[in-house]
Amino acid sequence: MEHTRPAQSTETTTSPERYFRLWSPDTTAARVHVRRPHEQQDSSSSRGHSSSALYTSTSTESDDFTGDAATVIYPLHRTGEWWVSDIPAHPGDRYAFSITTDPAASDDTTSTKDSDAIEWVGPFPDPCSERQPDGVHGFSEIWEPTYEFNCTQWRGRPLEGSVLYELHVGTFTPEGTFDGLIEKLPYLKDLGVTTIELMPVAPFGGTRNWGYDGNNWFAVQESYGGPDGLRKLVDEAHQHGMAVCLDVVYNHFGPDGYYGGAFAPYTSGGSTGWGEVVNLVGDHSDTVRRLIMDAIRRWFTEFRIDALRLDAVHAFNDPGAHPILEQMNDVARDVTARTGIPRTLIAESDQNDPRIVSPVAAGGYGLAGQWCDDVHHAIHSAVSGEHHAYYGDFGSPQVLATALTRAFWHDGRYSQFRGRTHGRPIHHATQPASSFVTYTTTHDQTGNRAAGDRPSMNLTPEQQVTKAALVFTSPYTPMLFEGEEWGASTPFPFFASHESDELNELTKEGRKREFARAGWSDDAVPDPSAQSTFDSARLDWDELTKGSHQAIHDAYRKLIALREDFPLLRSGNFASISVSWHDDSGNPAAAAHGADVNASGALSTPPVVDESPGRGRWIRVDRFSPVTNTAVPTTGGNTASAQANGDNTISAFINLADEPADIPLPHGSEINDWNVIFRFGASEGEETSLATDTEATLEHSTEDKSVGNDEETRVKLAPWETIIVAL
């Protein structure tokens, strides 16, 4: 394997001989500025290396050094596109690089003319630094792990069957650190979380940031606990039986502290809207790709990260024959094969392109999962009634029924919001539904609102639990966003405190322009750089045991537990779900299902039942095992279009209206045939709706039907009440 990482000579960071290395292909001369404790500086001079320092200066640096730290400048020597030192690099060394394109300079700068007479750029930190102890503008550090892993029993966790929990290290706990998060691991375990998903932890300028303004693919934000703090967190999570997913950004660099462009063509021009496009196809792009692959391998091996969430892969400029997503997945598969522990890649993409998760043999990229915004948009629009901006495509009952059963609403359909067709169909017969990660909200869906207002700030507790029930009874992989499980009242606005006042002002004005296009006023947009904006996003853990927050938390905990108690709910099979949305009389206003099992036993793609624009009142979600030809009975005497294994059926009945609803049970069913496994919301005549009640009996009545005088059993649902039953 060709190693592109700097300051490294073998695959592990504990190599006895490591050397300073810099990628800078168009440079005529390069130097490394080294600061180390005096005792190391002295021992280094006696190692017998032939390289001599250009000169030595003294400067006062971090308290990690003994007294004043001397800065010694050494020449680097060209090796292809790379520059390498003759002197070894030691753990704890602080260093930075300077370069020149002066034609009078050469490898041996002392033989051409005095190096002081040459115009040098820098010294700047290493773009591929493994540690930035003094921030993104300070010297880099040669890092060697000091935290040793203790968990030896961890065997990993595949995506299917997982429950993800997205969080921001800085706002999740009062401490805002990895150690603070470790203290909350028992809470997350008790909630039922199986995988913690960390928003990006790469170094950023300033003291507060969402994390997507990182400028280094290898280092870890120091204020969170640095690289050893991350290793400790992963180890502790594994000891609690939870996997760790890390959000990583390879589509752009942040504006504060990015020095890569001074050394090499890391970017290729053009803009993603967040920063310049990363160079994946231009001159020297092979090295950029190798650096990305090295970074991915490092997270998996040196930090034992289980999964990576790849930010905005639609922003990659990657028209080549070997897509970078496929290359990334090759690394994940290789590490999996070497360790026997599954390593997972999950993409964020707004393209609705199923090739991301389709097998390579079928023309896809082979990733384990991708975020699915269509399901979020459909659920949010149905419950909140919001239809502005991109929610305008998601207002009808049919959209919700289709999204819950087939993942993509936009699978080649016309998008009014985009003014064009969007997406392409999923091959439901072979694609696991569990490869689509779904949610009621995320950092994006909350933070990309002008005020960063959470759904809990606009919805009732019943409506919040309704959204959760739709996610947790779906065949997809569910994900929570920090605090949603108790209806947190704290917002999550965008925040970024750059070290440059100019950057802070540009960021603030850019956010205002963005939201002005969506109809929000300037006053609604908090200043991203203000301390108060960040402070407002910190979770208030005292809420957890208060009033409706406790009830919502109990409901979430029960919904997650149902997935453990009933394996059927964890089935990532499109053929295991059907959905119908009904009007006041109980007639379907819309319906859809994931896939049929035909007479030959093969899965087929069924047509959508109805495109009715009318708004339904209540929704029914059926989950079943597509094994036998026993059909699930529905209201109105019909049968669900997907197949079921009779005694292994779970149905959710949810009132999606502000008025009570009478829900007819399937024909031939008696009340006592149904086991109520979840209930949230006030029964008619009750004053409170803030408790789950799995022991409740279903209120019912009988009425003569106008045709045939058949007796029908009906269940009364309060506004926004949810009942889940097992048959």
Going from N- to C-terminal start, the domains of the chain cover 18-141, 164-398+433-559, 567-726
Active site residue 658: no
- Indicate whether 267 pLDDT > 50: yes
Active site residue 190: no
**CA angle, corner 531, sides to 525 and 532, nearest 5?**
60
Catalytic residue, candidates 197, 213, 235, 348: 348
Confidence of residue 711 (pLDDT cuts 50, 70, 90): low
Based on its alpha-carbon atoms, the radius of gyration of the chain, rounded to whole angstroms, reads 29
**Mean pLDDT, range 159-183, rounded to an integer:** 98
Per DSSP, 177 falls in state S
Query: What fold does the segment set 18-141 form as a domain?
Result: Immunoglobulin-like (2.60.40)
- Give the integer Cα–Cα distance in Å for 628 and 95: 66
Q: What is the pLDDT of residue 637?
A: 36
- Give the integer Cα–Cα distance in Å for 171 and 208: 10
Contacts for 455 with CB less than 8 Å, ≥ 6 apart:
380, 384, 440, 441, 446, 463, 464, 467, 484
Confidence of residue 705 (pLDDT cuts 50, 70, 90): very low
Contact criterion met (CB below 8 Å) for 678 and 469: yes
Please give the CATH superfamily to which domain 164-398+433-559 belongs.
Answer: Glycosidases (3.20.20.80)
Catalytic residue, candidates 247, 256, 302, 311: 311
- Give the integer Cα–Cα distance in Å for 420 and 268: 28
Q: What is the pLDDT of residue 7?
A: 54
Q: What is the pLDDT of residue 668?
A: 52
- Indicate whether 335 pLDDT > 80: yes
- CATH topology match: 18-141 vs 164-398+433-559: no
- Give the integer Cα–Cα distance in Å for 100 and 115: 10
| pTM for this prediction | 0.90
Q: What is the pLDDT of residue 57?
A: 54
Contact criterion met (CB below 8 Å) for 94 and 141: yes
Kindly report, residue by residue over 453-498, the tens digit of the pLDDT: 999 999 999 999 999 999 999 999 999 999 999 999 999 999 999 9
Confidence of residue 611 (pLDDT cuts 50, 70, 90): very low
Q: What is the pLDDT of residue 702?
A: 38
Q: What is the pLDDT of residue 511?
A: 84
Confidence of residue 510 (pLDDT cuts 50, 70, 90): confident
The count of other CB atoms within 10 Å of the CB of residue 211 is 24
**Mean pLDDT, range 195-208, rounded to an integer:** 96
Question: Among 504-508, 568-572, 609-613, where is mean pLDDT lowest?
Answer: 609-613
Reading phi first (left if > 0) and then psi (alpha if -120 to 50, else beta), residue 92 is in left
- Residue count of the chain, please give it: 727
Backbone φ and ψ of 381, nearest 5°: -65, -40
